[in-house]
Amino acid sequence: MAWNHNGSFFWKQLMAIRPYFQLSVKTVLRGGQNSLFWYDSWADSSMVFFAKNEAVVGPRAVSVAAALRDWFHIVPAPMTLLQHWFFTTAQTTHLTSGPDTLIWKWSSQGQYSSNSLYKRLVSAGKTNYMYKIFWKFKITPTVKVFLVLLSHRRILTQDQLLRRNINVQSHCHLCQQDVLETADHIFCSCPFTVNLWTRLNLQQAVVTDLSSLLQYLISNNQATSYTATLIATALWGIWLERNNRVFRSAGRSNDAVHNWIVQEASLFWRFS
């Protein structure tokens, strides 16, 4: 559907709340013809986020069905994180027939109610505050977006793949243990990662769960500090190393990953 930004006062007020509406509904795909790839939350809100904050190649008003048929011409480059997300999602998205439908995300029945909207508005303040701090960090936009996805646990670790009915073997490619790969394990309890945090002199980042780590990251209200840049870069570097081992079978040593993190953090700090 084309949205006209001109019109009556009433229409302009409706347009003003459109972004929140997009984040509050989820598209249930059938044929994929009447859902927009970049704007409708057919998988999660990450595509909407990328469309607003990163360069988009090709037409923005492309349908999900058209995008899945011709993904090469619409995927931004060199957005490695987005490409990885897209490849995995496209492989597990199966269209059928019929019109797509919308469900309300903030109620268990999938139907809108003023009570569910009120509860969501009351609870959303803390999350939005976290995003605002992430966006002040001296890091690249790609890493900022990664932190947003990470805080939502939207990165495709093994537990998330299982939730999408993708069969995977429980194995951590960083420490080589046969454990279910979760965000908590990769970034907090994995021996490979714990060693990195210690070598980076960030023992305070050695916690039991990701939520505590992210809370520590924003707790000092020093978004422009080098420590924040270093932690954010380390999280990004750990995820890249994991992906290199999973998709390319090209793992690096702990020393090499440590040196890469320090070098990248210094560049982010100097030029961001």
- 237-269 per-position pLDDT tens digit: 999 999 999 988 889 999 999 999 999 999 999
Mean pLDDT check: name the lowest of 14-28, 204-218, 237-251.
14-28
Q: Are residues 177 and 255 in the same domain?
A: yes
Grouping H, G, I as helix, E, B as strand and the rest as coil, residue 77 is coil
Strand 25-28 with 101-104, pairing: antiparallel
End residue of a domain, out of 74, 104, 134: 104
Residue 123: how many other CB atoms lie within 10 Å: 10
pLDDT tens, 121-158? 666 555 566 777 888 889 988 888 889 889 888 888 99
- Residue 25 phi, psi (nearest 5): -125, 155
Q: Are residues 167 and 254 in the same domain?
A: yes
Can you tell me the distance from the alpha carbon of 125 to that of 141, in angstroms, rounded to the nearest whole number?
Answer: 22
What is residue 62's predicted lDDT score, i.e. its pLDDT?
81
Residue 20: how many other CB atoms lie within 10 Å: 13
Mean pLDDT of the chain: 80
End residue of a domain, out of 51, 70, 104: 104
pLDDT surpasses 80 at 60 = no
Q: Are residues 27 and 82 in the same domain?
A: yes
The boundaries of the domain holding residue 34 are 9-104
Mean pLDDT of 25-37: 86
**What's the pTM value of the predicted model, to 2 decimals?**
0.60
Region of 175 (left: φ > 0; alpha: ψ -120 to 50; beta: rest) is alpha
- For 54, the token pair is 């990163």
Q: Are residues 129 and 260 in the same domain?
A: yes
Which of 236, 237, 250 lies closest to 173 in space, CA to CA? 250
Residue 2: how many other CB atoms lie within 10 Å: 4
In a domain, 258, yes or no: yes
pLDDT surpasses 70 at 15 = no
What is residue 218's predicted lDDT score, i.e. its pLDDT?
82
Q: H helices of the chain, where?
A: 9-16, 18-24, 46-53, 64-69, 80-92, 114-134, 141-151, 158-163, 183-184, 191-199, 210-219, 226-243, 254-271
> Which residues, 6 or more positions from 90, have their beta carbon under 8 angstroms from its beta carbon?
68, 71
Mean pLDDT check: name the lowest of 29-33, 191-195, 217-221.
217-221
> Which residues, 6 or more positions from 227, have their beta carbon under 8 angstroms from its beta carbon?
202, 220
What's the total number of domains in the chain? 2
In a domain, 235, yes or no: yes
Q: Are residues 244 and 174 in the same domain?
A: yes
Higher pLDDT, 3 or 166: 166
Q: Are residues 149 and 255 in the same domain?
A: yes
pLDDT surpasses 80 at 22 = no
Q: Are residues 129 and 97 in the same domain?
A: no
- The single residue listed with the structure tokens 């990195």 is 196
Q: Does an H or E element contain 27, and which?
A: strand 25-28
Q: Are residues 83 and 128 in the same domain?
A: no
